[in-house]
Amino acid sequence: MTDRGDASALRWLIGNELRLARERAGRKQGEAAALLGCSQAKINYLETGRNKQQPDEVSKLLHFYEAGAAKADRLAAIAGHPDQGTWWADFEDVVPDWFATFVGLEGLASREFVYETMTIPGLLQTREYATALLNGHLRVPVIDIEQVVNLRIARQQSLYGSSPLHFEVVVEESVLDRVVGGHEVMQAQLRHIVSLCERDNITLRVMPLSVPVHDGIEGEFMVLDFEQAQSIGYIEYPSGAIYIQNQEQVAGYTKAAQRLNEAALTPEQSLRAVAARLS
């Protein structure tokens, strides 16, 4: 796990795996409660991440679910991590509940894939570009714009450090031609992308308009991978988000990400496409 701690996101990850293991084993929450000698409500709290999971409880449950010793040891070790403060606590007044889980999970992730159709992804945005996107925004009050942008810039710190997030993105070619904030702001944004892509942990691919049909045609999505936990998919809509936890479904999104990478321009061709738009 990274050093961008979020105790609630960590509990969410552990709880998600406990629930999936129980469901695969065909066990009921009542059976798990009987094993631990607790109430069914506690099992529900453990699976939703409302309560902190103790290593011995995690190990006992996963052995009961016949999830395998390796998985039991791995999750018990994660559960044994000391609670850390929430790194984004200074911004909690502008983080809606549905987005809070994502911010925490992103801070714990080792790899993130994004398919974007309309704008430059938040982790690659300049302050001026991000501000321009939020001016006149239906759901972000003017008084909150600066703080929302500050959070976005703070999230970008995951791209740096000794164990940076590996960030992979496919953007539609039209994103590069949407002049957000005016000519100067957009030019600075494009130069920022070129600079960021010099980093080994950041890969940009552009989906050319000459590819009309591909695996992203149904909409934007993200996939988060973790060193010690199962991957999740994430789909955001204007007033909420869907967290995809079923591993067969996540595998489908991972495959779609792979196919999008193959259909798009190569990273080298993509950077040339960005540079061609610089004046």
- What's the pTM value of the predicted model, to 2 decimals? 0.88
Residue 3 carries which side chain, given as an amino acid letter? D
Closest CA to 17 of 80, 83, 61: 61
Instruction: Determine the straight-line distance between the first and last CA of the chain, rounded to whole angstroms.
Output: 41
Cα–Cα distance, 172 to 147 (Å, whole number): 28
The answer to whether the CB of 39 falls within 8 A of the CB of 146 is: no
Mean pLDDT, rounded, of the chain: 94
Q: Across residues 68-94, what is the average pLDDT?
A: 87
Q: Is the model's pLDDT at 111 over the cut of 60?
A: yes
CATH 3.30.870 region(s) of the chain?
93-275
Whether the pLDDT of residue 82 is over 80: the answer is no
2 has a pLDDT exceeding 80:
no
Domain span(s) for CATH 1.10.260.40 in the chain = 7-79
Q: Looking at the predicted structure, is the pLDDT value of residue 177 above 70?
A: yes
CA 22 – CA 30 distance, rounded (Å): 11
**Tokens 């590819």 belong to residue:** 211
- CATH code of the domain made up of 7-79: 1.10.260.40
CATH number of 93-275: 3.30.870
What gap in Å lies between CA 210 and CA 207, rounded to an integer?
A: 8
What pLDDT is recorded for position 81?
80
Residue 211 pLDDT class (50, 70, 90 cuts): very high
Sheet holding 240-244, edge to edge: 202-207, 166-172, 111-116, 221-225, 232-237, 240-244
Q: What is the pLDDT of residue 1?
A: 44
**From CA 160, how far away is CA 163, in angstroms rounded?**
7
Residues 117-173 pLDDT 10s: 999 999 999 999 999 999 999 899 999 999 999 999 999 999 999 999 999 999 999
CB 220 within 8 A of CB 169: no
